[in-house]
Amino acid sequence: MNKTGRTGERGKLLVLLETAQAKSAHISTETITELAESLDLSIGEVYGVASFYSFLYTKPQGRNVIRICKSLPCLLKSAQTIIDNVRKEIGIQPGETTPDGRFSFELTNCIGACDKAPAMMVNSDVHGNLTPKKIAKILKAYK
């Protein structure tokens, strides 16, 4: 079965996935099935797109997603210390979510903030020139 989907509608898939995620912080199996049906695509095709992009999640995430940049310019500015610090602060490893669902934590590739390295994103906010001292204060603002 090689479904190409309805012309015109197909082009909206990524936008629809982004919208679904913005609503419920991840893209559920139900959403994938619904989108496949409405766009006349196979479930595999929709899942294929949902799982390709690193900012889309097929599993539930915390209310706030912390992404620390692990690319070279940040690593040169001691990003590892920041990673260790966040790990200690919220008590989880990269790839995990806190039991209270407040934070998910992951490492990401270059976020284009190398002039403010080391840098991280919390949700869509970029925080740069990080120091271990700043971490607790920054995270406090995210409930």
Q: Which residue has the tokens 């390709």?
A: 52
Tell me whether residue 18 or residue 34 sits nearer to another protein (CB atom). Answer: 18
Tell me whether residue 60 or residue 88 sits nearer to another protein (CB atom). Answer: 60
- Rule CB under 8 A: choose which of 3, 72, 91, 131 binds another protein: 72
Strands in 1-143 per DSSP E: 64-69, 103-108, 120-122, 125-127
User: Contacts with another protein: how many residues (CB under 8 A)?
Assistant: 34
Closest CA to 64 of 92, 85, 43, 84: 92
Closest CA to 98 of 57, 142, 141, 61: 61
Closest CA to 120 of 136, 133, 107: 107
- Rule CB under 8 A: choose which of 124, 133, 140, 141 binds another protein: 124
114 binds another protein (CB under 8 A): yes
Tell me whether residue 54 or residue 93 sits nearer to another protein (CB atom). Answer: 54
Min separation Cβ 41 and another protein, Å: 9
Residue 98 CB partners (closer than 8 Å, separation 6+)? 62, 90, 91, 92, 104, 105
111 binds another protein (CB under 8 A): yes
CB 105 within 8 A of CB 86: yes
- Site for another protein, residues 11 to 70, rule: CB under 8 A: 11-15, 17-18, 48-49, 52-56
Which residues of the shown chain bind another protein in the complex (CB under 8 A)?
Answer: 10-15, 17-18, 48-49, 52-56, 71-73, 75-76, 108-117, 121, 124-126
